[in-house]
Chain A
Amino acid sequence: MLNLLYKEWKLAVHPTGYIFLSMGAMLLIPNYPYAVVFFYQTLGIFFTFMNGGATNDVFFTTLLPVRKRDVVQARLFTVIALEVLQILLAVPFAVLRCQISPTQNLAGMDANAALFGLVLVMFGVFNVVFLPLFYRSGYKTGTPYLLAVLAMTVVVVAAEAVIQLTPALKQTLDTTAYHPLQMAVLAAGVLLYAVLNLAAYRLSARSFERLDL
């Protein structure tokens, strides 16, 4: 598995995957829909898969002494690394945002722990739609990406709407001040992210094992 991960980072990850890691700095924008900041990384992931088509990545990899499900697992770990790294790199900017400008974000949720919980769910939904659809063909990226972004957007918009329209949630989750409920949302996000990734792996591995290359 380590060898496959080495291959991913040495040959497969598209440069935008690294560039979009820095998008966390956008949390410093006073009024901005912060979920969008994290959407960029799904583009980085998309480019990595799309680039794989141009570089014959699947073909090179499956001829190596590996099982097809290992190929899926290595790619999913890489995707998770890109997503989690982006979140981790965004944390200092979130802290800084609350320090230098404690005024409320008027364009959506504030940069707090609950936002990161929501972003994890958003990434989880992206992964569970995008990867299994991609591994049905091993090369088609367009439709899987569109559907994954659509699913992700529905979830984020719905969550934002519930928070904005429910006063109790708005006061506790959409604020630059700390509230324990934010940590609960983060914990739920971590849990859901893990469950969705497990499902993404199982579904993708099954599709890919069945696929004739």
Chain B
Amino acid sequence: MDALTVSHLEKRYPSFHLRDVSFRVQPGRIMGFIGRNGAGKTTTLKSILNLVHPDGGAVQFFGLDMPAHEFAIKQRTACIFGAANYYPQSALKTIAAVYRRFYPTWDEPLYQSYLQRFGLDPNKKIRQLSQGMSIKFALTLALSHHAELLILDEPTSGLDPVSRDELLHIFEDIVDREGASIFFSTHITSDLDKNADDITYIQNGQIIASGEKDAFVASYRKVEGRSEDLPPALKERIIGLHERKGEFSGLLRAADAAGANGLAVTPADLESIMVCTERG
């Protein structure tokens, strides 16, 4: 059974339209949710969690309908929207004392171990934490109740490279050890290159790809070379063509790459796919 199934989700705002959003997060897998700023990532996450009301579509967690089973679903899920930007005057231990009461599966030794691992002092107040430390505290809460699905909005932005790496290892650990699933939005695509199993890509309120990351990445090639060597037929097929000083770079679908004789064709990564796709 899927950890999360989203079918034909619609949400219409005066200046933005989430259109026919469908994807599924399978158990024991990490799915990255990518798209540029304003593409609809947070709106999608909020619609899934019933924080905003979708105009259409269906959302199921663990086979249970949202919002009918909202209460049970939220107990089995952990959500983070950025840093712990709440109750700045309260101590971490006070917030944890409140938070833990809502989760029957709260694991105090695990919570303590994350505090230690992240170097968080429970007596400190939220306002005394840096942005990075505040994200770590939000994560500590989310990770300490054995959630079966973690929904994280930009969990790694604001963290230093070492902390990001540490966090990605924790994600892998949770998935491997507990069989949990992780669905996280990010614009730091290199994080996903490292450990995502699947990718969902949203552009201007529409899902343009959702599936296995390796297959998705393998379906593109980076191509570059001298502009004069680029045949016009191939030029039309290049996604996000950039030309300067007689040189060009861009992206090709793997099927089109065969016609790129004499040009430098290299494997694509998520960042080049995203940048070139958005460039158009």
Interface residues of A in 38-75 (CB under 8 A from B): 54-57, 59-60, 62-67
Rounded to whole angstroms, the CA-CA distance of A65 and B70 in the bound complex is: 8
Contact B71 A210 (CB under 8 A): no
Given A55-B87, A56-B85, A59-B86, are A11 and B94 neighbors across the interface (CB < 8 Å)?
A: yes
Rounded to whole angstroms, the CA-CA distance of A7 and B98 in the bound complex is: 6
> Is A3 on the interface with B (CB-CB < 8 A)?
yes
Q: Which residues of A contact B53 (CB under 8 A)?
A: 210, 212
Interface range, A side: 20 to 34
Q: Which residues of B contact A57 (CB under 8 A)?
A: 86-87
Q: Please, how many residues of chain B have a CB less than 8 angstroms from a CB on the other chain?
A: 27
Contact A65 B90 (CB under 8 A): no
Given A6-B101, A55-B88, are A64 and B74 neighbors across the interface (CB < 8 Å)?
A: yes
Q: Which residues of B contact A65 (CB under 8 A)?
A: 71-75, 102-103
Q: Which residues of B contact A62 (CB under 8 A)?
A: 51
Given A210-B53, A213-B51, are A66 and B74 neighbors across the interface (CB < 8 Å)?
A: yes
Looking across the interface, which residue of chain B has its beta carbon closest to that of A62? B51
Rounded to whole angstroms, the CA-CA distance of A213 and B46 in the bound complex is: 8
> Is B209 on the interface with A (CB-CB < 8 A)?
no
Looking across the interface, which residue of chain B has its beta carbon closest to that of A3? B101
Contact B46 A10 (CB under 8 A): no
Q: Which residues of A contact B79 (CB under 8 A)?
A: 63
> Is B89 on the interface with A (CB-CB < 8 A)?
yes
Contact A10 B98 (CB under 8 A): yes
Rounded to whole angstroms, the CA-CA distance of A116 and B89 in the bound complex is: 36
Interface flags for B88-106 (1: CB within 8 Å of A; 0: not) read 1110001101110111000
Q: Taking the nearest CB of chain B, how far is it from the CB of A185, in angstroms?
A: 40
Which of B73, B99, B103 has the most C-beta atoms of chain A within 10 angstroms of its own C-beta?
B99
Contact A212 B74 (CB under 8 A): no
Contact A11 B101 (CB under 8 A): no
Rounded to whole angstroms, the CA-CA distance of A64 and B75 in the bound complex is: 8
Pick from B49, B75, B87: contact of A60, CB below 8 A: B87
18 A-B residue pairs with Cβ-Cβ distance under 8 Å, sorted by A, are A3-B101, A6-B101, A7-B98, A7-B101, A10-B94, A10-B97, A11-B95, A55-B86, A55-B90, A57-B86, A60-B87, A64-B99, A65-B71, A65-B72, A65-B74, A65-B75, A66-B74, A212-B53
